[in-house]
Structures are given as C-alpha cells and as structure tokens.
Amino acid sequence: MRVFEFHFNPNVKEDLIFDSFCYEPENIYERRVGSLYLVGFLKNVLPQNLHFLDRLAKLIKDQYYRSTLSTPEKALKESLRQCNEFLEGIAKKGDVSWLGNLSFAVFSLKNFELNFTKVGENKIILVRKGQIIDIDKKLRFQDIEPYPLKIFGNIVSGKLTENDLILVLTKEVFDFFQSQNLLNEIAKILSFDEKKFKSVIQTKEKEFLKISGICLAIFLQKEVGYPAKGWVGKREIISPSSYKEFSLKEAFTPYIKKLGAGLNPIVIVDYFKKLIKKPRWVAGGWRPQFKWVGVKWRPKIKLPQLAIPKFKFPKLNKNLISILALIFCLALGFFIANQEEKQQLKIYQATLDQIQKTVNEAETFLILKKTNPQVEEKANTLFRESWEEISPLVKVSSKLPKNFQAQIFSLKDAISKNLYQLNNLVEISEPELFFEFNPREFVPQKMIVFEKEIYFFSPYSQNLFRVSKESKGEIIEIDKKFNLGVAPDDSILLFSKPNQLSILKEGNFNQFFLETIEGSNYDELSPYKFSLYFLDKKSGEIIKYPYLENFKWDSPQLWLNSQTKKAIETKSMAIDGSIWILTENNEIDRYLRGSYKETLKLEFWPYFKNPTKIWTSPDLSYLYLLEPAQNRIIVLTKDGKIVKQFKSEKFDNLLDFALSPDAKTIYLLNGLKIYKLQTTSY
C-alpha cells in the first residue's frame, strides 16, 4: 500500500480542526490485524477541544492494536465500543459541543480486506479501473441515542483488489472535487503516484486556497513484508504559505558586511560551504565530516611593509582545527544574535512609545466627550488600533526583559479597561444558574421559549424536555427527532427533516407534511406572520411557505429575486420584516422584499471570531448574537451599534439561547446547564 495525505489550508479558521492518522503494524502481533487509518474533522471547536481528534485517534489505535488475537473486524468493533464509551463519558460531564459538529472515518486494511465505519459528512470513495464508487452508501447509519451514546454504529466489510484506490475526503474537499470534475481526472490515473495526483491538483491551485480539509489517498499494491516501523505515508500541506529555502550567502552576507574587516563575503560563504562536507557513517550514527580550506584575505587598505621575524607554526591537528572553526562560528553567531536582540528591543521600545502616544490621544478624546459626544467613537477607534498593535508584544513578552514586560502589561490593562467601558462589555463571574440537566435523562442541543416555559430538543434523540419556574423539568414523550423549532403566536412548530412539521398546541400534537422543492435543503427556520421561511445554506435560497389557515401552508416559493445576491455561506437567520443573515465571514446581511439591501458595518471590540446564531423578531428593538468562541452573547442595534455584551468564563460550552416573551430575560444553554441573564440594565 502507498499512502498519501493531502491537507488543504489547515489553521485557516480558528474554530475548525482536521487531521488524518495512519498507523502501520509495528510487530508480528500487530500484523494480524493490519493497518488502521482515520480521518477526523471538527467544526465550531471550543478552546478546550483543540486536541479532541488526537484523543479519539489515540484511543481507537491503542484499543485496535491491543486486540491482536481477534480478526480485524472484531478488533475494530472493540475499539469503536471503547470510543463510544469515551464519548458518553465526556457527554455526561457536560461537554456536548462536538455533537453534530464531528465527522470521523475509521477503517482498517489487511490483505486487501477492508472494514470501515464513519460518522458525519466525510466521504469514502473507491476508484477501480476508471470507475468511481461511493462505498460509504452501504453504511446503514443507526439513530444516535443519547444514552448509551452510540456515535459509531455499523461496520461495512469488503474485499478489494490490487490497484484499487481509496479516497477519504472531508465534505468541503469532496464538494470541490465534484464541482471541478477532479474525481474523474483522478480516475484516469492508471498507476497512481504522488506526482500524478499533485499534477491534477495543480490545475486548480488557486481555487484550492479557498477550501479547507483533507484528502487521504491509499493505493493498494502487493507488498513484500510490512513497512518499516514508524512509516505513516507522506503528508503534503497545501496552503498559501510557502517557505523560502535557506541560503548561507543570504544569511551571513549582511552581517559580514557590517564587520568591515575587509573580508570578501562571497569568499567567506564559499569557505563555510566547503568546510562542512556531506555526513558520513561512523559507529553510532551519522556524523558531519569537516574539511579545512583556506580563506582569501582581501584588505581594503594597504598596510606598510613591516619586517616580521620568521616563525614556524606548529602543525595543527585537523580535528583541533575543526573544533576551533566551530567555536568561531558559535562566537560569531552569539555576537550577531546579541546585536539583533539589542536592535529588536529598540524597535519594541519605539512601538511602545507610539502606542502610548495613541492611548494619550484617545484619553484626551474621552475628556472632551462631555461637550462633544461624537469624539467618543474616535476614542474607541484609537483604543482598538492600540489593542491591535500591543497584542503581538503581549505574545512575545515572556522572552523580553522584565522592565519591558511591565510596560507592556501596564499599557495593555489601560487599553482593555477603556475598551470594556466603550464597548459596554460586562464580565459576569457567577451567572445565575436556572436549571441543570441529568445527562441520563436528556441531552439538549436546542431550545425554544414559549410563554412561561422552555422546551428543549435535539436532532440526535427523541422526545422533548420542558422546564418552567414551577417544575423541576419533565420529558414529553414523542417518537420524533426534531431538527428545527420556533414558537410563533400560540403554538410551537417543530420541523423534522426532510419535510415533516409537528405542531404542539395546548398539549396536543398534530403532524403535517410540507410540499418541498426538489433538491433543496432546509437548514434554518424562522416564522413571520405565521408564514414559514427556510434557509438553504448550500444554494443560498430562502424558501417561503405562505400561511393559509388552520395550520395549513401554501406551496413553497423562492423568496429571493433571481437577480439579487444569494444568501450562501451562511450560519443563521432571523426575521422581523427584514431577513437578517449571519454569514460565514462573520458579517450580517439584511434582505428586504426579496432583495439584498446592505451589510452591517460592525466595529466593536472584541472583534468577532465565530458567532453561531442571530436572533430578533418584529417585537424586538435589537439583534442578538451568540459567540461561543469568546464566551459571550452580544446585543446590537439594528444598524450595527453595540448595546451590551455579556461575557463569563462559565459560558464555556454555549449551544443556544432564547429570550423570554417580554425580552427582559436571556436564557443560555451551556452544555447541560441553563444560565439566566436579566437585560433590564439596557
């Protein structure tokens, strides 16, 4: 087998992690179960889950190679059972942020026998003799029940043949390959190798810079023995970043010129190149081999001829000369580093002085705001600029002298204090706990406030859960899983994909099937005057169902004009007459009467990292935004001005939020806890 890992633009998004893991047998016992391959993808990542994929991969790998007395299929089943128990355990502790965000493919290979399973949107493709086969369609995915939490279910087994090619693609990469016809181009490669594969990719090099994800390629060949210990294939990172090749001439020439000692820089560089020859093998490992060469001296000034008595130098040992040369290089390097450090400190000091000057100017504007309120925005802008300039210094402060550290942190504290006040940011050390779920009863993902009660549901489990001030919480048993939910007027509407609508009114459930537009996805739902609006994130279309009467809706209509900007690459939608779209670029687009109208200019601090939900209604004066990545909920005017920000370290797993009917209370679903915020202060 030949394994290639292609990673496209890793670390582009802070809330997105992905990785591939390739494990080959390391001894005769592990050869009984063969090779193990995993591809993981996690979106909407919280800071505490940055190593989530590594933990899953290590757990599966350790258990798989622990079960070497079993068949590969049984070993894989046992490792997945352990993985399910691990995921159940962390869910019980309240960390359910990965639910719905995790895609993970696991498969093993031995003697051309394949066993695999997956969860999420990763695609597993088999390319055989020019044919493209979507083999993961054979998986019958079981419903994910909350407890015992069963993420990984059925395993598919099959027999492969020599020269088969397996491709494991994350969703965005798969969609791109399809749209650019790259799968067909790959299928034309009869004898797969890295160069041919990369030649296909290079035809779309610029387009690849717009996507993130993984392509794991495994080409099956007959093997003589197993790969050497530690062999894990070849990984290629494809991103805008490129690294310049190191050059001795470029590195040393500027510093040698500064010395002014009359040495020709080219001669010196040539000397260092000749001094260190190719390494040679000696007992214990590879060692560099040194060779002494002469250095030409080219004086810049003529010196008077002096009568120097002849002196016969003793013959030096070559090893001693090599050591002396190495000492000279180290001394030169220390001298250069010391000079660089002094120069860098001067630059840091100049930067600090400039930041202090900007801060002083901003504070002056704050003094004048009593007589001229407009200057407050100028002060806010200057403080934000100062924050951007000082942030890089904070990151390197641990490497700087203590007096520099003191200046940096003193200035940082002054800037942040003013930014907190100007941007109405309130830090809450102990938010009010309204309710906490027992994970063995129910694991919530989404919430709706209806009258004086809060209803919770999840696309991964059946039933509803109801909480009110008077009750301790109760399960409403219903044999349905719900993807979306809203509460217009006097009822609750719950939508189950692909087209079923359940209506809860006065304790009774009624169910309807909506007529759908072929090929459309129903990703977001918002009501307006009892008409229903669905957002298709893939096509960017908004689908409207006009309300008739008695809980009946007319045929679906495309709400957006054909000539207007589509709502593609979006996260969330809210309606108050206008339709507000939260985009993947962390902007808010406003649509009215089927047409794009404007994008709100959002200038407040801290800057957006990854807001996940927007909410408003015709009765609300503000827009509400949830941002789990920075532990906060944000309140804006409908022209984008900041009203209030609520932030707490306890908001470490924000999933959803909802407002009370009078908009005086915000309920936050944080893992298994519900926090309550009073909004009367603004």
DSSP state of 44: S
> What would the DSSP string read from start to end of 225-268?
S-PPTT---EEEEESS---PPP-HHHHHHHHHHHH-SS--HHHH
User: Is position 384 within any domain?
Assistant: no
Residue 523 CA to residue 543 CA, distance in Å, equals 11
CA dihedral 568, 572, 575, 579 (to 10 degrees): -20
| Number of C-beta neighbours around residue 213 at 10 A | 24
* 319, part of any domain: no
Segment among 394-398, 443-447, 557-561, 591-595 with least mean pLDDT:
394-398
Q: What is the pLDDT of residue 132?
A: 85
| pLDDT of residue 433 exceeding 80 | yes
Q: What is the pLDDT of residue 326?
A: 72
Residue 332 corresponds to which tokens in the numbers above? 């030169």
- Percent of the chain's residues with pLDDT above 90: 33
Task: Tell me the C-alpha distance between 585 and 570, whole Å.
Answer: 8
- Tell me the C-alpha distance between 367 and 375, whole Å: 9
What mean pLDDT is predicted for residues 568-572?
Answer: 91
Mean pLDDT to the nearest integer, 78-95: 85
Please indicate, yes or no, if residue 280 is contained in any of the structural domains. Answer: no
DSSP-derived secondary structure for 369-430? TTT-TTHHHHHHHHHHHHHHHHHHHHHHGGGS-HHHHHHHHHHHHHHHHHHHHHTTEEE-SS
User: Rounded CA gap, 83 and 62, in Å?
Assistant: 11
56 occurs within a structural domain: yes
The answer on pLDDT for 577 being more than 70 is yes
C-alpha distance from residue 49 to each of 170, 310, 467, 631 (Å): 19, 74, 29, 14
Query: Whole-number mean pLDDT of the chain?
Result: 81
Count CB atoms within 10 A of the CB of residue 335. 12
431: number of Cβ within 10 Å = 18
Q: Find out whether the peptide bond into 488 is cis, omega within 30 degrees of 0.
A: no
d(C-alpha 598, C-alpha 149), whole Å: 44
Of 106-115, 585-594, 662-671, which gets the smallest average pLDDT?
106-115
Q: Which residue, 219, 238, 257, sits at the end of a domain?
A: 238
Instruction: Summarize the chain as % helix, strand, coil (round to 5).
Output: 30, 30, 40
| pTM tops 0.85 | no
Contact 241, 47 (CB under 8 A): no
Q: What is the CATH number of the domain that holds 493?
A: 2.130.10.10
Least confident of 118-122, 210-214, 335-339: 335-339
Task: Work out the pLDDT band at 315, boundaries 50, 70, 90.
Answer: low
How far is residue 456's CA from residue 473's CA, in Å, rounded to a whole number?
10
Residue 622 lies in a domain: yes
- Residue 321 pLDDT more than 80? no
Rounded CA-CA distance 437/653 in Å is 14
As for how many domains the chain has, the answer is 2
pLDDT band, residue 320 (cuts 50/70/90): low
What burial class does residue 325 get, using C-beta atoms within 10 Å of its C-beta: 0-12 exposed, 13-18 middle, 19+ buried? middle
Distance CA 678, CA 667 (A): 9
Q: Tell me: the pLDDT tens digits for 121-158?
A: 889 988 887 888 887 765 544 433 443 445 566 788 88
Sign of CA dihedral 409, 414, 415, 416: positive
**pLDDT tens digits, one per residue of 399-428:** 778 888 888 888 889 998 999 988 999 999
Mean pLDDT, rounded, for 632-649: 94
If we measure between CA atoms, which residue out of 421, 349, 350, 361 comes closest to residue 385? Answer: 361
* Residue 226 pLDDT grade (very low, low, confident, very high; cuts 50, 70, 90): very low
Give the CATH number, domain containing residue 130: 3.60.40.10
Distance CA(432)–CA(428), nearest Å, equals 9
Q: What is the mean pLDDT of residues 85-112?
A: 86
- Is the C-alpha dihedral spanning 677, 665, 508, 484 positive or negative? negative
508-513 sheet: strands from edge to edge: 484-486, 492-496, 500-505, 508-513
Residues whose CB is less than 8 angstroms from the CB of residue 82 and which lie 6 or more positions away in sequence, other chains included? 59, 60, 63
**pLDDT reported for residue 465:** 95
Cβ atoms of residues 49 and 95 within 8 Å: yes
Q: Choose the final residue of a domain: 238, 264, 284.
A: 238
> What range defines the domain where residue 609 resides?
427-678
- Cβ(290)–Cβ(325) under 8 Å? yes
Encoded tokens for 108:
């093993």
Task: Give residue 231's pLDDT.
Answer: 40
Instruction: Say whether pLDDT at 309 is over 60.
Output: no
**604 part of a folded domain:** yes
pLDDT for residue 97: 83
End-to-end CA distance of the chain: 64
CA atoms of 647 and 668, how far apart (whole Å): 12
**pLDDT score for 656:** 96
pLDDT at residue 35 is higher than 60: yes
Residue 302 has pLDDT above 90, yes or no: no
Answer with the one of 180, 213, 238 that is the final residue of a domain.
Answer: 238
Cis peptide before 314 (omega within 30 of 0): no
pLDDT at 626: 96
The helix (run of H) or strand (run of E) holding residue 603 is none
Cα–Cα distance measured from residue 533 to residue 543, given in angstroms and rounded to the nearest whole number:
6
CA gap 366, 381 in Å, rounded: 12
The answer to whether residue 462 scores a pLDDT higher than 70 is yes
